[in-house]
A and B are shown apart, each in its own frame.
Chain A
């Protein structure tokens, strides 16, 4: 190795010195230096003329967890530390400056050493003009040293996630000089996630080691871990070590292991997304399975009932937060602007809006459904195809009402914090909102099942749906039962809307996005059969997500799913679960 310039030499010598210093620093850290103020050391470092010694002083801060270090380093880097020199003195005093400037542009100054105000000989605080003095110097080497200290500081951060982030950053940049520090931390680290990150980072750095054995061992570790971020580094290593067959072999094995890990992760992820997509379909379709499947009403406005639920969620959120503005259409006159002031909540209290929105969206959608049943649908029980047309008219009206009331654009619905995080288990990401949707779907199905089988209302519903006339003859108030059933199905649509507002856009056209899928789900499952709807929703969801994963094209996947559904219905025209009947016409 030749040193072309002095600066290269310095860098190289710093590299050689650094690990040792790190060790010293970390050992010192264990001697409880955390409480020591870093100010004297930084003060000294600034005044020190010799770069080597300067760096040594900076590095000696390793292990000191004082938050002042980062702040002072930033000041130093940003030229905010001035070197004050009294008129009659040769000694320079590093000072930081106060924020306020007076009429003469002068600022208050504080000694870097102990943060006390700079005083003149008379003991009065001095105000100085910053431009009259030099600033503390720094060059790239010193800035590098400061960054190194800060990086290593983060390794000892009490917050697990910050620690992991710092470890990953060191690993990804493959900084050989920080390896000893990582190894040292590895001995004391107890958290499993941080431990994993550490061994990954150590292995990544070791890929750069001189000795082939170490490289092979590192590649092996990475392969066994199935470390996805290491792929690029392994590829790079492969290119470098074409003359070392052993290393090449180890890298190839590691790459194969990682590839298989990725396949597993993708498969599990796809399965999970499929189930959650299926749950969304299920939630959207379950109301339809009741109104269409059991009652035989083709409710094209079901999508808009979903939108009613979503908008209810939006309004409730507005009432919890800063209020909401609605334009109530008055038909052929100026719309009335309604301003509802909100409770201005924030944090957890605001998050709880969703718990209020869930039941409300059910109730509001059920009420809309009730009005719809009383005014339109009850006249059309014998004419299913015409119920399709009339409810389509209803859907047009509702869509336009949404547009007029809430505007043509999508409205913002914020997810509560407990719905917006995720779990990452072994590289597979489980979004909380998706997990919640699955749980919610299970809950709705279970509730609907209980209602249909264990309550007297459920009994009446089933009786009326099987034979309306006969039920009426037995004294069942079929009108009432129809009303209740339709309202219940509509309410389930509203619940679906509350959910969909957490996942997708809420706009006037929301219903249209779900109506075709929801009908397909019910038809594939077998009309009049709730279990069929569950199976078909999950099936379609998983199929859809798998095709997306394979084709990398959501639209093409959707088209193929539609095609497959059409073909499937050739094979089983009445859906997965056929309700057996002796009637010719059913």
Chain B
């Protein structure tokens, strides 16, 4: 893989960035694109952020984390707390005179009369934004430190992150958590003073998402071409060799894990005001798996691929759920199986596969030719 970004990629990326950041919002402002579409694309791009965070971990470092949905929804919850408090006097209970302290409605429903202490800082938007970065970052730091220190890797890392996500989801489902329980947060009214249902606000949120995605892409592109990025990929291909070469593998992995947690979390924070809801069902291991699948569909280890995968899969899902409500899960499931079996490098890898085919070389046989990051099956030898 070339260390420098090729000119073609740079040009293509710039064109797509301009389309996403400038053209789409302008089309929306001029009324050629509906509010629904801009909202939908806003959500797709948030999924793109989540997919990039998975790619950074899985595609570049070989860590298959099933905890990305946790970070995504944590980011959403952090911003959601601010949005809930901003509902203020528009809440149902305030209108009926039962909520003098302006609590979010679900708290009144649960019998609270004053705002819990840990909610108070979220009255400030900047603090909420800071928490979007800090809390998932901190959780990733602690969990990653523990996991990488004891050299948990491969499948074990996946299963542990899965357990972490599962446990967190169970926790958020509880009402005593005072985070909205089963229903989560919804019914937002305004964000930093702007009416959240206004189409200008939605456009603003979309533009913010698009800019964030472009910036995150640029950052990851830069990170993966630095020396750090090389070590990262070396870790993926053979962690033992990296260790023996004197690198502190755990620290590298920890850094990537924290960075990708923050990227996922930012994606979630941008997702919530556009989707208008966040609840614990976003936090399940299945959601993480879905993000991994977007990555696989687009082509992992490419950064662009996961974004394409996220947008493509979700667009397919939106279409299939309407066209074949009974069969879309089967379509999706079969698609994943086929991609894993026959397109190990995803959509982006198709070009390479086609090229090989034309040159007369045998197409990459998934059975005979393991991909670079394949780990051997656990050997059982006494």
Contacts and interface: CB of A to CB of B under 8 A. Distances in A.
B167 interface: yes
B155 A298 contact: yes
Main secondary structure of the interface of A (DSSP, over half): helix
Given A380-B340, A383-B374, A389-B340, A332 B158 contact: no
Interface in A362-398: 376, 378-386, 388-390, 392-397
Interface stretch (A29-37, A424-432, A573-581): A573-581
Contacts of A385: 64, 154-155, 158, 373, 375
Interface string B367-379: 1001101111111
A396 B64 contact: no
A69 to B, nearest CB: 54
Nearest to A512: B286
B-side interface size class: 35 or more
B337 interface: yes
Interface string B327-362: 101101111110011001000000000000000000
A393 B332 contact: yes
B379 A466 contact: yes
Interface stretch (B23-31, B145-153, B223-231, B249-257): B145-153
A378 to B, nearest CB: 8
B364 interface: no
B247 to A, nearest CB: 16
Contact of A382 (B374, B379, B382): B374
Which residue among A296, A385, A395 has the maximum number of chain B CB atoms within 10 Å of its CB?
Answer: A385
Interface in A557-586: 558-559, 562-563, 565-567, 569-571, 573, 579-586
Contact of B329 (A400, A520, A523): A400
A247 interface: no
B289 interface: yes
A562 B165 CA distance: 10
B159 interface: yes
Given A384-B377, A389-B293, A528-B378, A566 B163 contact: yes
Contacts of B286: 512
B141 to A, nearest CB: 15
B166 interface: yes
Contacts, number: 170
Contact of A390 (B285, B324, B341, B375): B341
B265 to A, nearest CB: 20
B293 A528 contact: no
A465 B379 CA distance: 7
Contact of A381 (B164, B330, B377): B377
B8 interface: no
Contact of A401 (B156, B289, B330): B330
B156 A586 contact: no
B70 to A, nearest CB: 12
A433 to B, nearest CB: 25
A584 B379 contact: no
A394 B296 contact: no
Interface stretch (B32-40, B76-84, B169-177, B303-311): B169-177
Contact of B333 (A388, A397, A512): A397
A559 B326 contact: no
A237 to B, nearest CB: 37
B160 interface: yes
A296 B332 contact: no
Contacts of B332: 393, 396
A140 interface: no
Contact of A295 (B170, B341, B377, B381): B377
A382 B380 contact: no
B227 to A, nearest CB: 25
Which residue among A384, A395, A563 has the maximum number of chain B CB atoms within 10 Å of its CB?
Answer: A384
A516 to B, nearest CB: 5
A558 B324 contact: no
Nearest to B292: A389
A496 interface: no
Given A520-B159, A563-B167, A585-B375, A393 B326 contact: no
Nearest to A293: B378
Given A379-B367, A392-B293, A397-B330, A516 B163 contact: yes
A400 B376 contact: no
A384 B375 contact: yes
Nearest to A574: B156
A388 B158 contact: yes
Contacts of B324: 332
A384 B156 contact: no
Nearest to A554: B170
A294 B380 contact: yes
A401 B373 CA distance: 33
B240 interface: yes
A555 B174 contact: yes
A467 B379 contact: yes
Interface of B: 64, 143, 146-147, 149-152, 154-156, 158-160, 162-164, 166-167, 170-171, 173-174, 240, 285-286, 289, 292-293, 296, 324, 326-327, 329-330, 332-337, 340-341, 344, 366-367, 370-371, 373-382
15 contacts: A379-B366, A382-B374, A383-B371, A385-B375, A386-B340, A386-B344, A389-B340, A392-B293, A396-B336, A400-B329, A400-B330, A555-B171, A559-B167, A567-B146, A573-B156
Given A386-B344, A392-B293, A395-B333, 10 more contacts: A295-B377, A332-B327, A376-B341, A385-B64, A388-B64, A404-B326, A466-B380, A527-B378, A569-B150, A583-B381
